[in-house]
């Protein structure tokens, strides 16, 4: 369960943060966490890169983004394109969108977090969003076939984007099985903790 | 002529909180709270091993991860009838307290402060006067002239670049904004400092939980934090002292900044004290157990009906039948098949969506009831129960807030003012101050217990044959959370989570009794129907957490939210 990277503490030593967002209990909304597990299974990352499944943190993104010079987010995106399409957004493309009414702590999300950190000073200098258009986000764990098929493209997009930033990631000689526990339940006792 | 205002963020693919208010003569005449509450957890968990339940339930909500994990293991432990080692209780307690500090700080500064603070007005402030005012109120070292000048300069630069997006819907310049520029600047400075201190509190959760936001260190029967004071890979002295240092920093911010800011806001908005009372039945559960069984607690729980503190009734243990036997949920006005009112162990969840009908069904949220009555949950419920029971730290910190606010407002403030929108904010700060003390107390208890040579962290157990039932509760940052589990031959047969925001945001029930949000909005002033800031003030004071299901980014700039007037 706890790999050398997965167990790292993004709060303390993270300089490049790769985060998967989304709810693993809601079908394709679990795309971000799924891709994070694929990345951890297939690649080795340098110590200053953290790769983390954050779920649906809303405003609680702040502690994970704070202190990262580069932020790469994997998430589902709402786009007028067919399900399974993977798109990469950067900087201004992302930041231009209007902010939502704040009713609950989930309403402020990625954009608001970036705004707050920028105002304080010290927010990430580069932000990249690797997004997939979801097919099904209903109750129940497990990706649709379309989203599953898009995962490799999202993995490649993250690796490419890290490469462009000068971050070398190495493919593992022998990939580990990805820890997609929400699709393959095992008992807690069998899990390495 | 009355007007209908609908506040409806539409960021998510499905589900969120929607508030409808009917306004007449500048005040709310009637209100409806509608939302998407998680409604599939029992479907996902049925047939699974109860030991896995906490991993799944902590994914219900990305903000309330830890709290669902802890409540879930408590529910299964209750069904099994097992006690857990003292170390396990204390480690869980420190996680609970640290998570609470993080959550309360974020709630006030990052989510709610802009309801009261006019950011743009801060640009007119004299930073030296701001510093003088701040230094007269608190010993906090980061209130200096230098700090206030720097914040003002940064804010001016941000505004010049047109980057006020962060404060969009903050309604600056709204007629209901009343703070002088100097206080607004002080609040902006603390808003930025809060970003650091909520992170510090969260680091404690990471150190003990091995990861956040989804902790990994729990097990039914205890925790997975191996204790060996000399081993760098386990919970050792080095980690424990790091945790202590972080808790002390968070405690200083809560006691010297958060609490004082709350008192100042309450004093300067004294005209708001009569608003937002709503349902005055309160429910809180005891938490921070001091023993293995969960019979002695550091935070009090109980019920209060009709605001009568004298008739408080205590909830005494993790197994108290007074709680177990009196909770039910009504679906009379929610989009499920039927119109029953049932105990959580007996519930089912069969969605049956019909249109939004204010006279019929209008929400996905079920309406929880205690002895058939709507209950307000949250820090205010716990503070009032504690006050009524004479809980020393709660009483002491409540008096600090009331006295500080009273001296600023030049009025004598009694605990009765806490039944209000501002009272809910004040109570959250009081609870944070109490938690900041108790976090360090439980750290001390843990260190002392380990010092005695006790390193036990797990109670072994086995599933019995046949059916067992259990419930677990936790006084989460948003209030009373309970999980209810039915286990048959070692597999989950039913699972229900009754979460704080359902108690508060739930709809009317079969008897037409309004939920706490709805009741608290009635009579609320609304100066400008297009910018219903006052409605947001009251809703935010409950710290709503409803849109738990989905996270999707919309990079194309479609309409993301709206306020409609009909």
Q: pLDDT per residue over B286-321, tens digit each? A: 999 999 999 999 999 999 999 999 999 999 999 999
If DSSP states are collapsed to H, E and C, what string results for B243-275?
Answer: HHHHHHHHHHHHHHHHHHHHHHHHHHCHHHCCC
Contact A131 B19 (CB under 8 A): no
What's the CA gap between B380 and B166, in Å, rounded?
29
Contact A188 B52 (CB under 8 A): yes
The catalytic position among B330, B501, B520, B541 is B501
Residues β-bridged to residue B30: B22
Q: Which pLDDT score, from 0 to 100, does residue B184 have?
A: 95
Residue at A183 is within a domain: no
Q: Which domains does chain B have, with CATH numbers?
A: 3-565 (1.10.645.10)
Is B480 or A115 the better-scoring residue by pLDDT? Answer: B480
Q: Which residues of chain B neighbour A182 with C-beta distances below 8 Å?
A: 55-56, 59
Residue at A155 is within a domain: yes
| DSSP H/E element including A111 | helix A110-120
Residue B396 neighbours by CB under 8 Å, 6+ apart: none
For residue B545, indicate whether it is catalytic: yes
Q: Are B407 and B69 in contact (CB under 8 A)?
A: no
Domain count for chain A, please give it. 1
**pLDDT cut 90: percent of chain B above it:** 75
In B390-541, which ranges are continuous DSSP H helix? Answer: 392-409, 421-451, 500-505, 516-521, 533-541
Q: Which of A104, A116, A127, A182 would best serve as a mutation to test chain B binding (most B beta carbons within 10 A)?
A: A104
pLDDT over 80 at B561, yes or no: no
Q: Which pLDDT score, from 0 to 100, does residue B548 have?
A: 43
Contact A102 B155 (CB under 8 A): no
What's the CA gap between B436 and B53, in Å, rounded?
30
Candidate from B17, B168, B554 with C-beta closest to A78: B554
For residue B136, indicate whether it is catalytic: no
Residue at A159 is within a domain: yes
Q: Which pLDDT score, from 0 to 100, does residue B10 have?
A: 39
Contact A104 B544 (CB under 8 A): yes
For residue B102, indicate whether it is catalytic: no
Contact A78 B558 (CB under 8 A): yes
The CATH number for A68's domain is 3.40.50.1450
Residue at A6 is within a domain: no
Q: Which residues of chain A neighbour B199 with C-beta distances below 8 Å?
A: 11, 62-63, 66
Contact A22 B549 (CB under 8 A): no
CB contacts < 8 A, A to B, total 249
pLDDT over 50 at B565, yes or no: yes
The catalytic position among B33, B34, B61, B391 is B61
- CA-to-CA dists, residue A125 to A49, A65, A92, B28, B111, angstroms: 15, 11, 12, 45, 24
What's the CA gap between B227 and B457, in Å, rounded?
8
pLDDT over 90 at B17, yes or no: no
- CA-to-CA dists, residue B347 to B263, B368, B471, B480, angstroms: 43, 12, 14, 19
**pLDDT cut 70: percent of chain B above it:** 92
The helix/strand/coil state of B185 is helix
- Band the pLDDT of B60: cuts 50, 70, 90: confident
Q: Which of A12, A56, A90, A121 would best serve as a mutation to test chain B binding (most B beta carbons within 10 A)?
A: A56
Q: Which pLDDT score, from 0 to 100, does residue A118 have?
A: 84
pLDDT (average), residues B458-472: 96
C-beta neighbour count of A59 within 10 angstroms:
23
Residue at A65 is within a domain: yes
Residue at A193 is within a domain: no
Nearest residue to B116 via CA among B421, B410, B418, B517: B421
Predicted model pTM:
0.91
pLDDT digit string (tens) for B193-248? 999 999 999 999 999 998 878 899 999 999 999 999 888 889 999 999 999 999 99
Q: Which residues of chain B neighbour A131 with C-beta distances below 8 Å?
A: 553, 555
pLDDT (average), residues B541-552: 62
In B277-317, which ranges are continuous DSSP H helix? Answer: none
- Band the pLDDT of A37: cuts 50, 70, 90: very high
The tokens 């927010």 sit on which residue? A123
pLDDT (average), residues B441-458: 97
Q: Which pLDDT score, from 0 to 100, does residue B529 have?
A: 82
pLDDT over 90 at B350, yes or no: no
- Band the pLDDT of B354: cuts 50, 70, 90: confident
Q: Which pLDDT score, from 0 to 100, does residue A72 have?
A: 95
pLDDT digit string (tens) for B100-138? 999 999 989 988 888 899 988 999 999 999 999 999 999
Nearest residue to B205 via CA among B256, B247, B233, B259: B247
The helix/strand/coil state of A72 is strand
Residue at A184 is within a domain: no
pLDDT over 70 at A100, yes or no: no
Averaged pLDDT score across all residues of chain B = 91
For residue B501, indicate whether it is catalytic: yes
pLDDT (average), residues B468-479: 97
Q: Which pLDDT score, from 0 to 100, does residue B313 have?
A: 98
Averaged pLDDT score across all residues of chain A = 81
Q: Which of B98, B185, B213, B225 would best serve as a mutation to test chain A binding (most A beta carbons within 10 A)?
A: B213
Q: Domain range for residue A120? A: 11-175
Contact A139 B40 (CB under 8 A): yes
pLDDT over 50 at A11, yes or no: no
Q: Which residues of chain A neighbour B110 with C-beta distances below 8 Å?
A: 59, 62, 108, 116
Residue at A189 is within a domain: no
What's the CA gap between B402 and B381, in Å, rounded?
17
For residue B100, indicate whether it is catalytic: no
pLDDT (average), residues B353-362: 89
pLDDT over 50 at B14, yes or no: no
**Shortest distance, CA A174 to any CA of chain B (angstroms):** 26
For residue B548, indicate whether it is catalytic: yes
pLDDT digit string (tens) for B135-183? 999 999 999 999 999 999 999 988 888 776 666 556 777 888 999 999 9
| DSSP H/E element including A154 | helix A145-164
Nearest residue to A138 via CA among B36, B152, B462, B378: B36
pLDDT digit string (tens) for B402-413? 999 999 999 999
pLDDT over 50 at B560, yes or no: no
Structure-token pair, residue A35: 């891709």
What's the CA gap between B427 and B429, in Å, rounded?
5
**Shortest distance, CA B26 to any CA of chain A (angstroms):** 22
C-beta neighbour count of B353 within 10 angstroms:
9
């Amino acid at each position: 369960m706890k790999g050398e990277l997965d167990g790292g503490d993004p709060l303390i030593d993270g300089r490049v943060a790769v985060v998967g967002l989304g709810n693993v209990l809601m079908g394709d909304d679990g795309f971000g966490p799924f891709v994070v597990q694929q990345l951890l299974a297939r690649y080795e990352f340098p110590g200053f890169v953290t790769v983390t499944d954050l779920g649906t943190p809303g405003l609680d993104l702040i502690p994970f983004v704070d202190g990262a010079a580069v932020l790469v987010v994997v998430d589902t995106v709402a786009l007028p394109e067919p399900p399974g399409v993977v798109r990469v957004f950067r900087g201004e493309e992302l930041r231009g969108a209007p902010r939502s009414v704040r009713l609950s702590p989930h309403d402020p999300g990625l954009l608001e977090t970036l705004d707050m950190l920028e105002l304080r000073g010290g927010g990430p200098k580069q932000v990249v969003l690797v997004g997939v258009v979801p097919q099904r986000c209903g109750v129940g764990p497990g990706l649709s076939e379309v989203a599953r098929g898009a995962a490799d493209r999202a993995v490649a997009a993250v690796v490419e984007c890290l490469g462009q930033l000068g971050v070398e990631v190495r493919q593992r000689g022998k990939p580990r099985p990805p820890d997609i526990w929400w699709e393959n339940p095992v008992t807690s006792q069998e899990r390495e903790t | 002529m009355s007007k209908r205002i609908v506040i409806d963020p539409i960021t998510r693919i499905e589900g969120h909180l929607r508030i409808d208010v009917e306004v007449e003569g500048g005040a709310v005449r009637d209100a409806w709270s509608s939302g998407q509450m998680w409604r599939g957890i029992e479907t996902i968990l049925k047939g699974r091993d109860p030991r896995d339940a906490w991993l799944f339930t902590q994914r219900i909500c990305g903000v309330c991860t830890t709290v669902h994990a802890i409540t879930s293991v408590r529910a299964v432990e209750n069904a099994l009838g097992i006690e857990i080692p003292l170390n396990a209780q204390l480690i869980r307690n420190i996680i609970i307290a640290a998570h609470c500090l993080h959550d309360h700080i974020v709630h006030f500064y990052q989510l709610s402060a802009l309801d009261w603070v006019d950011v743009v007005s801060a640009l007119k402030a004299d930073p030296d006067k701001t510093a003088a005012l701040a230094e007269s109120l608190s010993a906090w070292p980061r209130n200096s002239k230098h700090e206030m000048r720097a914040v003002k300069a940064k804010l001016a630069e941000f505004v010049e670049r047109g980057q006020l997006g962060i404060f969009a819907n903050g309604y600056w310049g709204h007629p209901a904004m009343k703070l002088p520029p100097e206080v607004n600047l002080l609040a902006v400075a603390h808003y930025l400092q809060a970003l650091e201190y909520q992170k510090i509190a969260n680091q404690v959760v990471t150190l003990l939980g091995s990861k956040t936001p989804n902790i990994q260190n729990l097990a039914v029967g205890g925790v997975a934090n191996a204790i060996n004071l000399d081993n760098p890979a386990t919970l050792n002295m080095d980690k424990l002292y790091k945790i202590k240092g972080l808790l002390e920093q968070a405690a200083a911010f809560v006691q010297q900044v958060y609490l004082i800011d709350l008192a100042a806001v309450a004093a300067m908005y004294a005209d708001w004290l009569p608003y937002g009372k709503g349902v005055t039945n309160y429910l809180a559960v005891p938490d921070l157990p001091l023993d293995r069984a969960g019979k002695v607690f550091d935070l009090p729980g109980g019920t209060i009906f009709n605001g009568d503190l004298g008739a408080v009734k205590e909830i005494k243990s993790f197994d108290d039948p007074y709680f177990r036997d009196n909770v039910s949920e009504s679906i009379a006005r929610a989009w499920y098949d039927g119109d029953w009112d049932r105990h959580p162990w007996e519930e089912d969840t069969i969605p049956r969506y019909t249109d939004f009908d204010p006279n019929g069904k209008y929400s996905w949220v079920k309406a929880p009831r205690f002895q058939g009555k709507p209950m307000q949950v949250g820090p205010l419920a716990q503070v009032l129960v504690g006050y009524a029971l004479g809980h020393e730290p709660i009483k002491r910190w409540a008096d600090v807030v009331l006295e500080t606010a009273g001296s600023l407002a030049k009025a004598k403030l009694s605990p009765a003012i806490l039944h209000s929108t501002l009272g809910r904010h004040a109570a959250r700060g009081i609870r944070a101050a109490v938690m900041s003390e108790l976090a360090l107390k439980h750290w001390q208890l843990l260190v002392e217990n380990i010092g005695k040579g006790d390193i036990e962290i797990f109670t072994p157990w086995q599933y019995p044959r046949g059916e067992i039932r259990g419930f677990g509760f936790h006084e989460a940052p948003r209030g009373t959370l309970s999980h209810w589990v039915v286990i048959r031959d070692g597999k989950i047969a039913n699972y229900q989570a009754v979460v704080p925001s359902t108690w508060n945001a739930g709809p009317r029930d079969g008897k037409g009794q309004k939920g706490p949000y709805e009741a608290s909005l009635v009579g609320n002033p609304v100066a400008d129907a297009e910018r219903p800031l006052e409605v947001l003030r009251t809703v935010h004071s409950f710290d709503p957490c409803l849109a738990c299901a989905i996270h999707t980014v919309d990079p194309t700039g479609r309409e993301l939210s709206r306020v409609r007037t009909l």
